[in-house]
């Protein structure tokens, strides 16, 4: 695993470059880039008063640091202008389990593979630019889910935004409006998009049609940045939730390391025998 010193974390650059210029989209490729994405999310969430002020200036859930998550970025030079994260379902569940656990478990009982899209943020004020970025990030997110055999993509949004996602991307609602504890109990509704119906969605949505016409090769995801244990320690400390570390560490140990630890824990204590003489 690539090891990166936690000192690589630096403050995001000030707004720079030409925000109307074309963005280059990719998976976050370094610890610094990951931090910039999470800082952008924090800043936008603070503007909307969805999170408390934090000295670390980052926002994410524990699942966003897992090896099977990816954070996407639209950049100009070194400046991140827009971001979206995707988490595949696993032993720690999805961030939306805190709100819609019953609905997600219903899908799991039917054997569905789930992927959650979240932490979308864009530093630009232009709705046209933001929509263009959302389309491109969702395209990448869709293909990341496909590369992991996802049956459903899920997202939690404010109820007043639900019609937007339904009209543009073919999402449908599931369940009822709930309070989202992670964002100061703001109202949220669960939306999902189904792989089984993606063809029908493409007929109604030019955006989904463009997703299918512009696939992303699975090898792209092998280039994404995977945090090391020191990185996870640094990020969870910045987040102000160092207790996340204990939950995440098992996913950063190799199978051999885990087997050794389990074997050592199961061995009975051996009495020490002192030799005569």
Q: What is the pLDDT of residues 206-256, one digit of tens each?
A: 999 999 999 999 888 988 998 889 999 999 999 999 999 999 998 987 656
* Per-residue model confidence (pLDDT) at position 167: 94
Question: For 21-72, what is each residue's pLDDT tens digit?
Answer: 689 999 999 999 999 999 999 999 999 999 999 889 999 999 999 999 999 9
Query: Tokens representing 22?
Result: 């074309």
**Helix, coil or strand: residue 204:** helix
* Per-residue model confidence (pLDDT) at position 276: 39
Question: For 256-267, what is each residue's pLDDT tens digit?
Answer: 665 676 677 776
**Res. 197: pLDDT tops 90:** yes
Q: Can you give the three-state secondary structure of 224-266, one letter per residue?
A: CCCCCHHHHHHHHHHHCCCCHHHHHHHHHCCHHHHHHHHHHHH
* Per-residue model confidence (pLDDT) at position 123: 93
Q: What is the greatest pairwise CA distance in the chain? A: 88
pTM of the model: 0.85
* Per-residue model confidence (pLDDT) at position 10: 45
Closest CA to 191 of 204, 212, 174, 208: 174
- Torsion angles phi and psi, residue 197, rounded to 5: -110, 15
Angstrom distance (rounded) from CA 138 to CA 119? 12
The partner residues of 179 in beta bridges, in order of sequence, read: 187
- Domains delineated in the chain: 9-244 (3.40.630.30)
**Res. 165: pLDDT tops 80:** yes
DSSP 29-82: -SHHHHHHHHHHHHHHHHHTT-S---TT-----GGGGSTTEEEEEEEETTEEEE
**Helix, coil or strand: residue 118:** strand
Q: Is the four-CA dihedral 80, 117, 114, 140 of positive or negative sign? A: negative
Q: How far is CA 11 from the centre of its chain?
A: 20
* Per-residue model confidence (pLDDT) at position 236: 96
């Amino acid at each position: 695993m690539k090891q990166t010193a936690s000192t690589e974390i630096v403050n995001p650059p000030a707004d720079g470059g030409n925000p109307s210029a074309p963005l280059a989209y990719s998976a976050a490729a370094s610890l610094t880039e990951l931090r910039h994405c999470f800082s952008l999310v924090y800043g936008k969430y603070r503007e909307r008063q969805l999170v408390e002020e934090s000295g670390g200036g980052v926002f994410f859930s524990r699942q966003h640091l897992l090896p099977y998550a990816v954070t996407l970025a639209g950049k100009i030079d070194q400046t991140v202008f827009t971001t979206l994260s995707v988490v595949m379902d696993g032993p720690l569940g999805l961030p939306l389990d805190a709100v819609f656990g019953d609905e997600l478990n219903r899908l799991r009982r039917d054997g569905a593979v789930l992927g959650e899209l979240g932490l979308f943020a864009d530093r630009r004020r232009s709705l046209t630019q933001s929509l263009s970025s959302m389309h491109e990030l969702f395209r990448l997110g869709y293909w990341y889910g496909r590369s992991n055999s996802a049956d459903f993509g899920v997202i939690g949004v404010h109820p007043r935004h639900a019609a937007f996602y339904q009209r543009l991307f073919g999402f449908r609602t599931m369940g009822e409006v709930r309070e989202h504890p992670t964002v100061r109990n703001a109202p949220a509704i669960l939306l999902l998009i189904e792989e089984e119906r993606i063809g029908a969605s493409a007929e109604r949505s030019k955006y989904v049609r463009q997703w299918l016409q512009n696939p992303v090769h699975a090898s792209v995801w092998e280039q994404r940045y995977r945090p090391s244990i020191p990185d996870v320690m640094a990020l969870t400390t910045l987040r102000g939730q160092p207790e996340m570390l204990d939950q995440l560490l098992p996913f950063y140990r190799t199978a051999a390391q885990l087997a050794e630890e389990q074997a050592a824990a199961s061995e009975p204590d051996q009495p020490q025998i002192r030799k005569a003489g």
